[in-house]
Amino acid sequence: SFSGDINPFPVYYSPECDVSVIGDESFHRIFHLLWSNNEKFNVDDSHIKCICHGSNLGTYYYFCVHCKQMYHKECVESPIKITHPYHPEHSLQLYYLETYRYECFCCGKSASRLVYSCTICQVFMDPVCAMKLIPLVIEKPKTHDHPLTFFPRQTCLTCNVCGLLRKIYPTYVCLKCNYVAHNDFMYSPHIIKISRHHHRLSYTSSLQSREWSCGVCRQCIDGGYGAYTCDKCSDYVVRSRCALGKNVCDGEELEGVPEDDDITQDERLFIVISEGVILHFLHGHHLRLEISMLYDENKLCQACVLPIFEGNFYTCMECDFILHETCAKSCRRIQHVLHPYPLTLKLVRLNEWGHLKLCEACFRYLGGFIYRCDIGESRFNLDVRCASVSEPFDYEGHEHPLFLSLDQNAYPICHICKEACLKQLNCITCNFICATIPYKAMYKHDRHFLKILCGEEVCEKVWCEICERDLSDTNTKVFYWCDECCTTVHIECLFGKDSYMKPGQFLKPDFKGKKTYLLPKSNISQPLCNYCKNPYINKVFKIGSYQGRPRA
């Protein structure tokens, strides 16, 4: 089912080239704009306001003289119902989606708002793809030496490239040998670069007879089907379907393309002014190296937004800007396992709606330094804590290395908080959110370090020192505790619910357009909320002006 996010077809087309969208009773006159997709497309995206809300370029466009916008020819002329060779069993109806949750059956990209769909088989097609002529014979496929012929009947044939049985997927077969390929794998690139490995990989139709383990999903590989191998690492192999995943590979063909140098060594992070003094590229003042002697919970690193517990740190010689020494040496550009494109270190900014951005891994608000990518259809943001998680990930509180799981339909139980892991980002053994929680922390009323403790291991003192709630009455199953003093606190009570947001940080216009700021913690008492009148144990927000100086 569509979960209630589909509306009836919103656009009406007439031979006179008039167009109307739902909610707009007027008809706009549009004209053919002959713009071949073979030519370089130099029009600003703001001029393309097609009803599909998609960026999938067609061959020709219509131009509206009323609103000065362009529309895909395929979207404007889309019939209400079609039959398609890729799905001959049922007709496809045109729908308007409220979300981008579905993939196009033809190209594998996220479907636009306007889609053709079979509600019986849950098949979705972008109108641009649905209107294209499909080839009945592929003369020179990338994954096979012989021509491939379209097989019109839906049947269970195992694809020689991905190794899967997918009944409803378009299939091409070789009439000379026993070879089958799904439509979405026929044009797979021969040489690729994935986010999980530092070398390029090349496609092979089969592997040598031995036990192989996929370098992405960590599952056993059947060597009789296609895979990607590393020429420099003889034991590194990845299944085709894992290697070509959207979060793993950008799908670009790199055959004949010169290999880039190491992206992490391209630019300097800071300039050394003198011994122990640097100028960081994300701050305008000189920073001096110091050693942490006394714990101060209000002394936060501006990169990871965690307190300065121990070790060396840089402090600004003109303002209150502070950086852990390790954070100051973070790479300016990285390749992370969660994204196929390189990420660049930047300061966090509000998005176009004036809201704080969320980290794509832990879904917390971004408050410090971030790694950002502006390539592709969507913008990708990662905080520096999640960016530090790599494969294999060694968590101090667990004896085995951890790997990211590709199964987006599984909800394993986190070994730290004992709750179901997130659908998209979870570790095989540990939730990604919990993987970035510091293994040890400081509490101002205890002179020892507190360490992560699971709920069933709690000692006889069963209340939180901060909120004074009974630990057995709270949903969370993970705490910080001191084994010498038996001090126990909730993680949220120690760091706050929005744990990685900085005091003085502007959030967004709210409450009749007034600005909202985050206040620093009070060392005297817990403040009362102006609305519910209860003590506020998490972050405190102020509506209106902020007298302190917001940090960079």
Q: Sheet with 171-174: list strands edge to edge.
A: 137-138, 148-151, 171-174, 179-182
The residue among 381, 375, 401 whose CA lies nearest residue 390 is 401
Average pLDDT, the chain: 73
Between residues 299 and 254, the one the model is more confident about: 254
CB 65 within 8 A of CB 30: yes
Strands 212-213 and 380-383, sheet pairing = unpaired
What percent of the chain stands above pLDDT 90? 10
The Cα-based distances of 29 to 26, 50, 163, 353 in angstroms read 10, 14, 50, 32
Q: Give the chain's end-to-end CA distance (angstroms, integer).
A: 47
Q: Which residues have C-beta within 8 Å of that of residue 8, sequence separation ≥ 6?
A: 22, 95, 96
Which residues of the chain are in CATH 3.30.60 domains?
191-243
pLDDT for position 229: 94
Between residues 273 and 209, the one the model is more confident about: 273
The Cα-based distances of 238 to 136, 164, 165, 214, 225 in angstroms read 30, 15, 19, 5, 11
pTM of the predicted model, to two decimals?
A: 0.67
Which CATH number is correct for 191-243, 3.30.60, 1.10.357, 2.60.120, 3.30.950?
Answer: 3.30.60
Query: How far is the C-alpha of 458 from the C-alpha of 490, rounded, in Å?
Result: 12
The residue among 478, 510, 515 whose CA lies nearest residue 495 is 478
Q: Which residues have C-beta within 8 Å of that of residue 3, sequence separation ≥ 6?
A: none
Query: How far is the C-alpha of 382 from the C-alpha of 358, rounded, in Å?
Result: 8
pLDDT for position 68: 66
pLDDT for position 59: 57
**Collapsing DSSP states into helix, strand and coil, what is residue 473?**
helix
**Collapsing DSSP states into helix, strand and coil, what is residue 7?**
strand
Torsion of CA 246, 247, 251, 252, to 10 degrees: 150
DSSP state of 90: E
- Which structure tokens are listed for 369? 């330094």
pLDDT for position 287: 94
Instruction: Give the pLDDT mean for 258-262.
Output: 69
pLDDT for position 307: 82
